[in-house]
Structure formats: C-alpha cells, structure tokens
Structure 1
Amino acid sequence: MNLRGSRLSQEAGEIVKKLTSILGEKYVTASLPDLIAYSCDISPEPRVLPDVVVRPKTTEEVAEILKEANKTKKPVVPRGAGTCPAGFIKYQKNAIVVDMTRMDEIIDINEKEMTVTVECGVTWGKLYYELRKKGWRVGSYGPGSALSATVGGALSHHSLAYGCAKYGSVSENVTSLEVVLPTGAIINTGSGAYPHAKKAQRYGIGPDLTGLFLGEGGAFGIKTKATMMIHPFPEAVRFLCYEAENLKQLLDATYEVSKTRIPSDILGFNPWLNNALGEAGFKSLLGKDYTLHVVIEAPNDKVADAQAEYVDNAAKKTGVKEVGAEWLKFFYYPRFAEWWPRTSPKGKRWYAWCNKIPIYDYLRTHELIEELFNKYKDECEKYQLEPYDVMYFVVDWNTVDALLLVYAWDDVPGAREVVRKMWREGFERFVAEGGIHYWLGSAVGELVARNWASEYRETLRAIKKVLDPNGILIPGMLLLT
C-alpha cells in the first residue's frame, strides 16, 4: 500500500487497510502522486482527487471491494482507460476508484459458436489484433481511442466509430455480461443467466437485462466480463470516396449509400478536415469542400466488386464525383486505430462533442454549430481557440454522429474555462433540438437526465434504488441518486 503524500481521514485510512487485505499492498494506493495521475481524464473538467485507487484482478475482488464500500457508504467509481471526453472525474471526490485495467484477459475465442469472451479491462486494440490472428473480428470495433480504450468503458457509453454503419454501437456486439452489482452480488445476463447454457444469445430468456448495464455510464453495476459476437475478418475491402458540391448533396449521397445496407463505414467530411488532410499529404482532398468516404468489406473479391459497383451507382445518382481514396486506405488498413490524433496539427489539445441525429437533421445541426461558433468568435480569438465542424459517422444506417472539435492550448490562462462554457452550451443546444449525445459523464449525463420524461426518470431511479440501496456506485451519475 502506497501512502506517500497521503492526506487521508481516519475513516478513509481504515478503508484503505481493509482494501489492502483484499488486494494486497501492490494494488492499493493513496499516494498523492498516484491520485493526481487519476484526477483527470481527457475532458476539460477540473481535476478531482479520489481518496484511494484499487486495481483488482478478479471478479471476486471487485465484489469484495463493493461489499466493503457498502459498510461505510463509501462512493465507488469504476475506471477504464480515462479516454471519455465527457468527464467522469467529478464523481471521484472522496471515492474509491476501481481501475479495471488489470482485468484484461481474452478468456475464450470460440470459433464454433462465433463468440469471444473477454474481461472488461481489455482494450479494443488488443482484442482486435488477437481476433485478427485467427481470422475474426467483432462487428463494431470500438471508439476512436480503441487502441487504449477498454471494452467495459466503451460498453458504458454505447461507443462507436469503426464498423458502426453496418453493426451499430459496440453494445450491439454483446450477447452476455458478467456484472458485479453495487451490493457485491454477481450476475450473468443473456443466456449466461442459465448456469447450464452457453453465452451465445442475448434474447429469449425473459427481459433483456443485458441492456440495463449498457450505456448507463456504469451506474447500475461494474461490468467484469463480456461475451460478444464475432464475424469472419474480411478477405476483400473496397474504398470509395466522393466529392460533393454542397452539404445537401453530401447528405443525399450519404442517404443513398446508407440505404444499400452494404458498407461497414460511411463518413462525411467538412471543408476544414478535407484541407487539413490534404495539407498532410492526402492530395485528393486538398481544396475539397465536402467529401463522402465509404468502406465495403466482403468475403472475397467477386462479392466486394459487385457490392462496390452497387454502392457506387447509388452514390453517383446524387451527382457526387469520385476522388482518390488514399486517406481511407491509410486510416483503416492495416493501421487499426493508430491514426486518431488527440491534438491539432499545431499541437493543441482537442475537446469534442458527438451528437447523433437522423441523416437530414444534420442540416439543422450544422446551423446550430455555426451559431455557437459565431457567438464565441471573439473569445476564441482572445484565447487562441480553434473550433471546427469536422465530420460525421453513419450509425445503424439511419443516423449520423456529428463530431465537433475545439482546439486549445492548455497553458493559455482562461482558455479551458471558455472551452468548458462553450462545450456545455453546445450540449444544451443539441439536446434541446432532439440530438442524442454519444458520451455521458457528468457534463452530458446530467443534462440528458434533466430532459427525460418524468415517468422515465422515476422508473430508472427506482431501479437504481433496488440495485444500489446505499447509493455508493458513482453517486450523482444520471442524477439517479
């Protein structure tokens, strides 16, 4: 147990001793330098130090941690890689942070049943490369930060990026979960609820409790294992890129391509991103206003060529023109998730919004973005902030997830405060217009909760009360406690 620089209360000190008896000294820390390392994530939210950080290795250890926390009603906050841009650190005050990254085993790649079972601290990057060795993949590959993001963290947000046009969010991969409830009880969902059944089916045994623990920000339980469907890794891939004359034409092409239900990935780029990539060496994008990028994955070249021709015809009937696809080839293969910069071309840190809306509603979202950026134009100039309407992903064929960025120097006094103000106002505007935000966290989750219908809110609060009678697991998440 590391207590270097610790300023624990007597009560917290007793809890640390008990946690050490569960995990051993090596995996419990209340050292100030360690707590500082855990006091932030990639959001612009202020740092919050927890009381103690623990790193369990087994489901049983997670259960014992929660049982111990219940004795004194000590808050508990599970943590993956800390790559959520919406801010979870607010909930860490006086809390036990449970770092899940030691639980990173790929337990079983079952090729006969076409499932993979993993511990939820494993990264999507590790999972991708281990599956690929055997010729398999999950449908939706994880978020943009997949090389470092954990499976459990992504499942808590319905994360999306790679493969999401065809396969939806990462939650759509899941057939069964192992979850430690806030009381310390351990349950399995899906067909895993049958002790004698395999974990190959999510539905058919009664209510879908798997869904209760997906996209809830971790408020209902700590996910320790997940079983997901796998698919054969594509033997043939085709890349299609098009230039549109304006945003309406880009959305028309996006709609027609989505209707084919063929591509695994569909992305729309706005002018700034096209020019940034063009200046980085992808010359076919230089000077372009709007571009559409399409990935088609198939079992062989014959199928890939036929599908590409069909999608190409669908796109071109909207009048878009084909352009070179070198960027798409670089981004998707063979470098999975390696090209996803967290800084601007100048080295500034980025802060983001992700807002899901029906395809043609992006026209209104684009207007909202321009209104927001114009409102903060003077402050952006004063504090050297660079806001951009960047791109969107197609999700589940019928919606797009709009990605907006603000680049900022962290060492410019006052810059982060302006970013936070602008960031939160953006969330409020998008939700007020019916947008469904990607992440939760403190910034988005509380806003979402305030916009629920009252009956929906009270139903979730009743569920939370049953599962977490002492209110210890991420208190305040989604305003459920």
Structure 2
Amino acid sequence: MDAQTVDRLKQMYGDRAATDLFERGFYERDLAPVPNFLVKPIADTLPDIVIRPKSTEEVAAIVKTAAVQKIPVTTRAGGSTVYFNTVCTRKGIVVDMNGMDGLLAIDKENNMVRVEAGLTWWKLERALNRVGLATCSYPSSAQAATVGGWLVMMGYGLGSLKYGSVLEQINSAQVVLPDGSVRELNATSEPPISWFAASEGTLGIVTEVGLKVRPQPEHEWHGLAEFENAEQMQCFIESAVTLGNKPFNLHFSDPGCNLLRHRLGMASPQAAAAYTVAFDADGTEAETIAACQDYERCLQKADGGDLGEEAGHEWQHRFFSLVLKREGPSLLGAEIWLPIYNLADYLSDVADFETQKSLGLKSYGHVVTQKHAMVMTMFNADERDTIGYLQGLALVKKLHDIGARHGGIPYGIGLWNTPYLKRCQSPEELAELKKRKKMLDPHNIMNPGKRYEPPLLLKPALFGLGMDLLAATTLVYKGKEGRK
C-alpha cells in the first residue's frame, strides 16, 4: 500500500485512522497467542492502516478505494476467535467495526430489531431487556462478540438448541460488497444472505442486520446434573434434545474441566469428580415448571444425580469459560463440531490420550442442535516456551484427529484450521464456496489468505507430517506445569 494512499485515508478519517506502529500492532493478534516465529513465515499481519468507520457510507468509501487499487481489506470487531479470522495476512486496511454499535430500530409488535453490525450481543441483550424483549440466542463470548461477527462465523451458542443458528434469526442484512457497492440482502436476494454466514469476512462487510427477537421470558429455571461417566451424560443429553419444550441451553463439562473450576472456586468438590450438564430453561411459569419435570425424567433415565443450588451459580458464570486460563499462562485446544451420539466415545479417546501424554486435558461444550454439540478440549500452554509450544500445536492436531474419528470437524476455519479444509467440506462444497468468492471478489481483496486454501506451510501433507513427528517426541514443554 503506497504512502500517498495511506496519507489520503488518514486525512479523510482523522483520528479514526491509525498509522502509528504501536497502535497497529494490537491488530496483529486475536485470542491466539501464537509466537511470531510461527506467524511471520505464513502471514504479514501488520496492517498499513486501521480505520474505524462510523457509517455504512464510510465503509463503502473505504472498500471502493481498496477495490480500485486492489488493497487487501480485513474486517475486525470483537476479535474473539483463535483462528486469525480477523487478522490480516497481506497487510492492507483493517476496518475496525467497533464504532458502529448502534441499536437502530425496535419493532416490538413484530419482535424485530435493526442493529449495526458492531453491536455486541451483551449490549443488545441488555438494551432489549429494558423494553421487555430478549435475543433468541447469543454466543458464550457475548460480552465481546458482535452481531455481524457472529453472522459471518455462522454462530451457534446459548439458545441455538431451541431457536437455531444466528442465520435462522436474521431476515435481512446490509452488506458492502468487494466493489464498494451497498446491498440489502435477505433469504431470496442475489446473492442471498446465507452466502455470508460462515464466510468469515471473505465476501464483504456486514454493516447492519435485521434480527428476530422474542418477548423477555417471565421465568427461568436451572438444573445441574451430575454423572459418574460420559455414557450416562450422553444418555441425559440425548433425552433432553428430544423434548418438545427444548431447554434454552445445555452445557456439559468433564471431570478435568470441573476439577479446575473447583480449584478456581467455581464448583463444589462433588462436581469436581463428575461429568455435569447444566439444563437451563426459560419461558412462562408453566413452561419452567414443565422443564423442571422434564429434567427430572431425563435425570432418572440416565441414572444421574442433581447438584441443586449449584445450577444457578453455573448459569451466572456462563460467559466465563475462559477463566480456566487463570492457571495459565495460556491455553491450547481444539473446538470441534461433534455428533452428540459420539460424544461419550470422543471423551473416552480424549481420556486415553490424557493417559498417554498427561496434559491436564479438560473438555466442555454446548449442545447447539438436536444432533450436534460444540466441544472444546484444552490444555495449558506457554507461548514463551518455543519448542514446547510447537509440541503443543502438534497435540492440538492430535485432538482434531480424535474428533475426526468420531465424525467431528473444526468449528471455524480462518488461517490456522485451513489444513483441515477437506474434513470440513466435500470437494463439491469447497468448489462452490470458491466459485462464490471469485464471483463477488475477483481480485481477492476481502480478507485474503483465509478460508479457501491453506498456505504452503499449512498444506495438509506437510502440516500433517510435521505435526505427527512433533507429537511423537518426548514432551518438554512447560505449559502443563500450570495445572500443578
């Protein structure tokens, strides 16, 4: 990107355009603390300029400038993933959407709202609650994740079991396409809004969203079930997902996760030794009473126990899963989209892997459809330990391999999961995605280097060989010391 263009953009957007090296440096990372020696051979992550627009018109002007000069554009808001979805790989412009966080309109009669894409789910939920409404679902990272960001990640989270993915709750979206034109998209437009779900910012920039909401629930009810083994836990979950009045949320944890939560003062000694499932329901008083009865029946069928008052405490901590990082310095892990009927077998293989490697593995997840759960399996890591961190990344690959054996795929692609593309989509599906990219973005300026093709060092054959060799070596890394 030439200096003249940088200067012109700086003049246009004033103090909302950052060219200072120190400030731009904050945009070189997301939640993944990957050392530079691993990043720099693959990606040029320092943007030439960061711009914080305040309107769709400003976003469109930025993209038009980029389109004319074929400058890469990367969109960023909460940056709450670990895949470098929102980190540039070829310099260029980073468009920071956090300034576009308005609640534009509320249609209470039809349970609809119009919001700017940079609005976080937590701020939206609080604003809706003040007028007697609520979101249908939201991510566990609701305090940082934005409406637009969750759409382009095809968000599933709390509430998804009952109300579906975020795409099922959106009836329209305003999008700036890669040529700088502004389009209002819906389910039947050309292109349809469904193209942008899971596109990870590679097809355009979502600036506004029309979203379905619901009346604020009158009552809540929370249960926390405990089980001796994963088979009982799976039985409980399989019963719960078939209920006519589905729970708002089903969240499960294995003993490794619960033991750490106990050490952090977030779980009882009884929970620390168990597999647990949080069963959260809301609605009318009659619906929550019925949910309590459903819970008891599912619990009896699975031969589980009830942890009583601890359920409310678990619900209050629903946004703090990453507090597990406190044992530090950091975490590595695999987030996997997994069939529910394979959950117990997956956790059994994870337990066998733990026996071999002694990593202090811990798993938790959300049931997000009647057939699938999102499972996160993690272990402590330390990015300051160069050799050890490499070994840790190799072990993440082994966790993905365990998931694949049980029908699981990575949730999210970005940069770091591109080696697993063939697991995530069939050749026909990937060809269709590439066709859409070429049609809308022929010059590949929107978030290039992600989603569709791995870079050389992440090609499956080379990546797989290197990671498997590292995983077979004797562990020397210091990350696991944090659990002692």
Q: Which moved more, 1:178-187 or 1:162-171?
A: 162-171
Normalised by the length of structure 2, the TM-score is 0.85
Asked if residue 298 in structure 1 is aligned to residue 283 in structure 2, the reply is yes
Asked if residue 259 in structure 1 is aligned to residue 238 in structure 2, the reply is no
* Secondary structure in 1 matching 2:289: helix
Listed one character per residue, the Cα deviations across residues 39-65 of structure 1 (whole Å, up to 9, x for unaligned) are 111114345212211111111111111
1:351, distance to aligned residue in structure 2 (A): 3.0
User: 1: CA distance between counterparts of 2:453 and 2:184?
Assistant: 23
1:35, distance to aligned residue in structure 2 (A): 1.4
User: 2: CA distance between counterparts of 1:226 and 1:365?
Assistant: 37
Listed one character per residue, the Cα deviations across residues 150-172 of structure 1 (whole Å, up to 9, x for unaligned) are 22222121223322221233333
User: 2: CA distance between counterparts of 1:207 and 1:312?
Assistant: 48
Q: What is the one-letter code of the residue matched to 1:297?
A: D
CA contact 1:272–1:390 (8 Å) conserved in 2: yes
State the superposition RMSD in angstroms: 2.4
Listed one character per residue, the Cα deviations across residues 341-380 of structure 1 (whole Å, up to 9, x for unaligned) are 3443424322332212221211332244345545654xxx
User: 2: CA distance between counterparts of 1:464 and 1:153?
Assistant: 18
Asked if residue 16 in structure 1 is aligned to residue 16 in structure 2, the reply is no
CA contact 1:45–1:87 (8 Å) conserved in 2: no
User: 2: CA distance between counterparts of 1:249 and 1:207?
Assistant: 47
1:429, distance to aligned residue in structure 2 (A): 4.7
Q: What is the one-letter code of the residue matched to 1:453?
A: S
Listed one character per residue, the Cα deviations across residues 258-290 of structure 1 (whole Å, up to 9, x for unaligned) are 111421111222112222333415326444321
Cα gap change, 1:348/1:255 in structure 2, threshold over 3 Å: closer, same or farther?
A: same
Asked if residue 73 in structure 1 is aligned to residue 73 in structure 2, the reply is no
Cα gap change, 1:374/1:54 in structure 2, threshold over 3 Å: closer, same or farther?
A: farther
User: 2: CA distance between counterparts of 1:336 and 1:136?
Assistant: 20
Give the structure 1 partner of residue 362 of structure 2: 389
1:100, distance to aligned residue in structure 2 (A): 0.8
Give the structure 1 partner of residue 337 of structure 2: 356
Find the partner of 1:60 among 38, 41, 57. Answer: 57
Find the partner of 1:329 among 298, 312, 315. Answer: 312
CA contact 2:177–2:440 (8 Å) conserved in 1: yes
Structure 1: which 5+ runs fail to align? 1-10, 191-202, 378-385
Cα gap change, 1:372/1:281 in structure 2, threshold over 3 Å: closer, same or farther?
A: closer
* Secondary structure in 1 matching 2:241: helix
User: 2: CA distance between counterparts of 1:429 and 1:318?
Assistant: 25
Give the structure 2 partner of residue 382 of structure 1: none
User: 2: CA distance between counterparts of 1:223 and 1:154?
Assistant: 11
Give the structure 2 partner of residue 239 of structure 1: 222
Listed one character per residue, the Cα deviations across residues 278-336 of structure 1 (whole Å, up to 9, x for unaligned) are 3415326444321221001112x23311231133213312211222242x312434x77
Q: What is the one-letter code of the residue matched to 1:235?
A: E
Asked if residue 184 in structure 1 is aligned to residue 169 in structure 2, the reply is no
CA contact 1:181–1:221 (8 Å) conserved in 2: yes
Give the structure 2 partner of residue 409 of structure 1: 382
* Secondary structure in 2 matching 1:130: helix
Cα gap change, 1:287/1:59 in structure 2, threshold over 3 Å: closer, same or farther?
A: closer
1:220, distance to aligned residue in structure 2 (A): 1.1
Within 5 Å, give how 1:163-174 maps onto structure 2.
163-174=159-170
Q: What is the one-letter code of the residue matched to 1:123?
A: T
Give the structure 1 partner of residue 24 of structure 2: 35
Give the structure 1 partner of residue 409 of structure 2: 436
Give the structure 1 partner of residue 294 of structure 2: 310
Cα gap change, 1:172/1:375 in structure 2, threshold over 3 Å: closer, same or farther?
A: farther
Identical residues among aligned pairs (%): 25
Q: What is the one-letter code of the residue matched to 1:309?
A: Q
Normalised by the length of structure 1, the TM-score is 0.85
Structure 2: which 5+ runs fail to align? 37-44, 455-484
1:449, distance to aligned residue in structure 2 (A): 5.1
Q: Which moved more, 1:45-54 or 1:231-240?
A: 45-54
Find the partner of 1:219 among 193, 199, 202. Answer: 202
* Secondary structure in 2 matching 1:85: coil
Give the structure 1 partner of residue 129 of structure 2: 132
Cα gap change, 1:60/1:343 in structure 2, threshold over 3 Å: closer, same or farther?
A: same
CA contact 1:116–1:228 (8 Å) conserved in 2: yes
Asked if residue 422 in structure 1 is aligned to residue 395 in structure 2, the reply is yes
Within 5 Å, give how 1:89-238 maps onto structure 2.
91-142=88-139, 144-190=140-186, 203=187, 205=188, 209-238=192-221
Give the structure 1 partner of residue 429 of structure 2: 456
* Secondary structure in 1 matching 2:374: strand
Q: Which moved more, 1:314-323 or 1:404-413?
A: 404-413
1:120, distance to aligned residue in structure 2 (A): 0.7
Listed one character per residue, the Cα deviations across residues 201-242 of structure 1 (whole Å, up to 9, x for unaligned) are xx5x46781111111111111111111110112111111122
Asked if residue 476 in structure 1 is aligned to residue 459 in structure 2, the reply is no
1:243, distance to aligned residue in structure 2 (A): 1.8
Give the structure 2 partner of residue 51 of structure 1: 48
Listed one character per residue, the Cα deviations across residues 115-171 of structure 1 (whole Å, up to 9, x for unaligned) are 1111111111111111111121111122x2211122222212122332222123333
CA contact 1:275–1:285 (8 Å) conserved in 2: no
Q: What is the one-letter code of the residue matched to 1:421?
A: A
User: 2: CA distance between counterparts of 1:67 and 1:376?
Assistant: 52
1:68, distance to aligned residue in structure 2 (A): 0.8
User: 1: CA distance between counterparts of 2:323 and 2:80?
Assistant: 10
CA contact 2:151–2:198 (8 Å) conserved in 1: yes
* Secondary structure in 2 matching 1:219: coil
User: 2: CA distance between counterparts of 1:345 and 1:472?
Assistant: 38
Cα gap change, 1:450/1:64 in structure 2, threshold over 3 Å: closer, same or farther?
A: farther
CA contact 2:410–2:424 (8 Å) conserved in 1: no
Equivalent residue pairs, number: 444
Q: What is the one-letter code of the residue matched to 1:125?
A: W
User: 2: CA distance between counterparts of 1:123 and 1:171?
Assistant: 16
Cα gap change, 1:287/1:96 in structure 2, threshold over 3 Å: closer, same or farther?
A: closer
Q: What is the one-letter code of the residue matched to 1:346?
A: E
User: 1: CA distance between counterparts of 2:365 and 2:201?
Assistant: 26
